[in-house]
A = this chain, B = another copy of it.
């Protein structure tokens, strides 16, 4: 059954090395069980033949793949990039491979991707946030694949999570804005449907606004997909109002970058004419002009801890502990008091 033209199999290696397939398998998976002299010979043959284990077969036989999957809403902007990088580094240190796919913020696609990853044998899954359909949760439970939610802390959600309290963080930021005397606020939010982070952030704004004795009904909120161009457009619209806001709070840094861009184009000076804030503190935030006031998210720490937690879940079968990290307001040049008129 040796084929000379196709990819070599365990069997080929075994035959060439004059041992059984079991021994070859052991050389690869638990080398300490094989005596040095045999092992050496087998490894030589493996090299010589350029053998690589067939993953499908291995996954099927061993029921584990040393693969962790992550489904993130987007790769387009850097929101998840840094955290994911740290996540991957940590996984790699633990001997695991990370496979990423993106859902374009579409729950339908997210579901597909989750299934694709599980079908491909992912031992564990990293997901973003908590908003997903019953079907998906059901599916995950049924498959018994450990999953962890990140970028969002939620005490009693379906999945254990590691993240920060988006609502509280945004509330703090908004309080800073209000403390400076702003009373006319505008909000540019990401699409909240199916995105608990975006929703919580708006709630946080609402909390602070209401607590300050203002009426949230008077605060214009524009929802738009996370994208610089959309942020710009929304900002433009907000500033067309008869009494435009003196502070524009954006759901994340990307939208805020768009707002700053639009401001530049409209000849509106930030923060003199209007203040702008973001959320996430991606690298971009620090190099914008003016530098963006935002909420700093501990991306790398979150990624690292997510990896550790998920690995523990996968390897020891323990239930993941939900962990809350601190996200701190980060004041920079884009926020100032309202213009005295």
Across the interface, which residues of B come within 8 angstroms of A82, CB to CB? Answer: 76
The stretch of A34-42, A112-120, A172-180 that contacts the partner chain: A112-120
Across the interface, which residues of B come within 8 angstroms of A97, CB to CB? Answer: 101, 112-113, 116
Q: A303 CB to closest chain B CB, in angstroms?
A: 11
A158 located at the interface, meaning its Cβ lies under 8 Å from any Cβ of chain B in the complex: no
Q: Let me know if B1 and A317 touch, CB within 8 A.
A: yes
With contacts A60-B60, A287-B260 taken as known, whether A144 is within 8 angstroms of B98 at the C-beta atoms is no
With contacts A56-B59, A57-B60 taken as known, whether A100 is within 8 angstroms of B120 at the C-beta atoms is no
Do most interface residues of chain A lie in helix, strand or loop, or is the interface mixed? helix
Q: Let me know if A76 and B78 touch, CB within 8 A.
A: yes
Q: A212 CB to closest chain B CB, in angstroms?
A: 31
Q: What CA separation (Å) do A136 and B139 show in the bound complex? A: 38
Partner of A284, one of B101, B121, B141, B284: B284
The stretch of A13-21, A47-55, A183-191, A213-221 that contacts the partner chain: A47-55
A237 located at the interface, meaning its Cβ lies under 8 Å from any Cβ of chain B in the complex: no
With contacts A3-B144, A118-B52 taken as known, whether A99 is within 8 angstroms of B102 at the C-beta atoms is no
Across the interface, which residues of B come within 8 angstroms of A1, CB to CB? Answer: 144, 146, 313, 317
Across the interface, which residues of B come within 8 angstroms of A89, CB to CB? Answer: 104
Q: Let me know if B100 and A101 touch, CB within 8 A.
A: yes
Across the interface, which residues of B come within 8 angstroms of A211, CB to CB? Answer: none
> What 0/1 pattern do residues 245 to 287 of A give for CB contact below 8 A with B?
0000000000001101100100000000000000000011011
Q: Let me know if B75 and A100 touch, CB within 8 A.
A: yes
Q: What CA separation (Å) do A60 and B54 show in the bound complex? A: 8
Q: What CA separation (Å) do A1 and B55 show in the bound complex? A: 21
A134 located at the interface, meaning its Cβ lies under 8 Å from any Cβ of chain B in the complex: no
A77 located at the interface, meaning its Cβ lies under 8 Å from any Cβ of chain B in the complex: yes
Q: Let me know if A102 and B85 touch, CB within 8 A.
A: yes
Q: What CA separation (Å) do A57 and B260 show in the bound complex? A: 52
Query: Within residues 307 to 326 of chain A, which ones have a CB less than 8 A from any CB in chain B?
Result: 313, 317
> What 0/1 pattern do residues 139 to 155 of A give for CB contact below 8 A with B?
10111101000000000
Q: What CA separation (Å) do A107 and B77 show in the bound complex? A: 25
Across the interface, which residues of B come within 8 angstroms of A141, CB to CB? Answer: 3
Across the interface, which residues of B come within 8 angstroms of A55, CB to CB? Answer: 56, 59, 119-121
Q: Let me know if B88 and A142 touch, CB within 8 A.
A: no
Query: Within residues 50 to 98 of chain A, which ones have a CB less than 8 A from any CB in chain B?
Result: 50, 52-60, 65, 67, 74-78, 81-82, 84-85, 88-89, 92, 97-98
Q: A57 CB to closest chain B CB, in angstroms?
A: 5
Cβ contacts A to B, 21 pairs, < 8 Å: A3-B142, A50-B142, A52-B119, A52-B143, A55-B56, A55-B119, A55-B121, A56-B56, A56-B120, A67-B120, A75-B84, A76-B85, A85-B102, A97-B101, A97-B116, A99-B100, A120-B121, A260-B287, A261-B286, A288-B288, A289-B289
Q: Which 7 A-B pairs have the closest CB atoms?
A: A289-B289, A56-B59, A3-B144, A56-B56, A55-B119, A1-B317, A56-B60
Q: A52-B143, A60-B60, A258-B287 are in contact. List 12 more A-B contacts (CB 8 A).
A: A1-B313, A1-B317, A50-B139, A54-B60, A55-B119, A67-B116, A75-B75, A78-B78, A99-B120, A120-B120, A257-B287, A284-B284
